[in-house]
Amino acid sequence: MKAKVVRNITWIISVLLALIWLYPFVIVLINSLKTKSDLFSNPLALSRPTFGNYTEAFLSLNYVQSFFNSTLITVTSVLLITLLASMTAYALARTHGKISSIIYYLCAATMLIPFQSIMIPLISLFGRIDFLNRISLILMNTGLALSLSIILYYGAFLGVPASIDEAAMIDGANTVKAFFSVILPSVSPMTGTVVILNAMKIWNDYLLPSLVINKDGMYTIPLRMYFFFGENNSNWQLALAGLVLAIIPIIILFILLQKQIMQSATEGAIK
């Protein structure tokens, strides 16, 4: 009897907490579907939904272009990170020389440096050679993400027995071919983690793109959203519709890859 009461109470608490946690999203969604006057007369109430805000926000966010820019930058950066980090980590995991351990500790040490401690010289260095554009943004994303990704991959490669390397080599493949056809696929769960962690970070990033990208047509979603929100600070219904449009791609991705994303988040923190 007592156990049942306890169970019911925990159930009620859980549901309440879940509702509180989702409330910010719900209230944003509800108000993004209102007219300006409905929103201002009472943002707490429900009203007949109108989708006009979405068409307007979609157009003035330049949504298709911003989405394309975000995707281009995220995908290229993540590809480069995965490629370079896995190769380097593998070379470090399979050699025991002094150089390898110096490089490994160098990676660990650079992880201590907060972005704010390098952003001023980084931007002025690239600005001086007139190289602030999407390519340099991709290179910066990669450089900043490599250390953590190398260390994550390093741990995974230590778990791959050396006999697999030898078997791959006996088949007559050279090091590069053996790596890509046999060894890298054997750590694909870690590749998943590295891809997800970096993709989320790069997709959501605002600070670095705001410093590097200065051409309107190259804005990513967070950059565009920042300016859009500022322009519409008295048109909440529009600003909120834009906000929902900016959140949608992340939520869709999360619904598709829920388990992997939550697993990667835990792994990235614990290792």
Partner 1 sequence: MFQKKYYYWLFVLPSLVLISVIILIPFLIGIFYSFTNSNGITASWVGLKNYFLLFSDANFLQSCWLTFLFSLLSVAGINVIALSFALLVTRRDNRFTKFLRTIFFIPNLIGGILLGFIWQFIFIQIFGALGSQLHLSFFNGWLSTPESGLWGLVILFWWQMSGYIMLIYVAFLNAIPRSTIESAKLDGANEGQIFWWIKLPQLAPAFTISLFLTLANSFKLYEQNLALTNGGPFRSTEMIAMNIYNTAFVNYQQGYAQAAGILLFIFVALVSFAQLYFSRKGERQNES
40 to 59, contacts with partner 1 by CB under 8 A?
42-44
Closest contact distance (angstroms) between CB of 64 and partner 1 is: 19
When asked if residue 199 is in the footprint of partner 1 (CB under 8 A), the reply is no
Pair 230, 15: CB distance under 8 Å: no
Distance, in Å, from the CA atom of 157 to the CA atom of 98, rounded to the nearest integer, reads 19
The residue from 150, 152, 194, 195 that contacts partner 1 (CB under 8 A) is: 150
The residue from 4, 48, 98, 121 that contacts partner 1 (CB under 8 A) is: 121
Question: Rounded to 5 degrees, what angle do the CA atoms 82, 175, 180 make?
Answer: 35
Question: Rounded to 5 degrees, what angle do the CA atoms 260, 262, 265 make?
Answer: 105
Neighbours of 118 (CB within 10 A): 13
When asked if residue 188 is in the footprint of partner 1 (CB under 8 A), the reply is no
Closest contact distance (angstroms) between CB of 178 and partner 1 is: 7
Helices (H), the chain: 2-32, 36-41, 52-60, 63-94, 98-110, 119-128, 134-158, 162-170, 175-178, 188-204, 207-212, 221-231, 236-270
When asked if residue 147 is in the footprint of partner 1 (CB under 8 A), the reply is yes
Which of these ranges, 35-43, 48-56, 58-66, 185-193, lies near partner 1 under the rule CB under 8 A? 35-43
Distance, in Å, from the CA atom of 246 to the CA atom of 204, rounded to the nearest integer, reads 10
When asked if residue 222 is in the footprint of partner 1 (CB under 8 A), the reply is yes
Pair 90, 152: CB distance under 8 Å: no
When asked if residue 65 is in the footprint of partner 1 (CB under 8 A), the reply is no
Which of these ranges, 52-60, 61-69, 140-148, 185-193, lies near partner 1 under the rule CB under 8 A? 140-148
* 157-186 binders of partner 1 (CB under 8 A): 165, 169, 175-176, 178-179
Distance, in Å, from the CA atom of 142 to the CA atom of 205, rounded to the nearest integer, reads 13
Tell me, residue by residue from 248 to 267, as one string, x for binding to partner 1 by CB under 8 A and - for no binding: --xx--x---x--xx--xx-
**Residue 128 corresponds to which tokens in the numbers above?**
């001086």
Closest contact distance (angstroms) between CB of 48 and partner 1 is: 19
When asked if residue 214 is in the footprint of partner 1 (CB under 8 A), the reply is no
When asked if residue 94 is in the footprint of partner 1 (CB under 8 A), the reply is yes
Q: Which is nearer to partner 1, 72 or 250 (CB)?
A: 250
When asked if residue 3 is in the footprint of partner 1 (CB under 8 A), the reply is no
* Residue 95 neighbours by CB under 8 Å, 6+ apart: none
**Residue 249 corresponds to which tokens in the numbers above?**
């791609």
The residue from 85, 156, 187, 238 that contacts partner 1 (CB under 8 A) is: 85
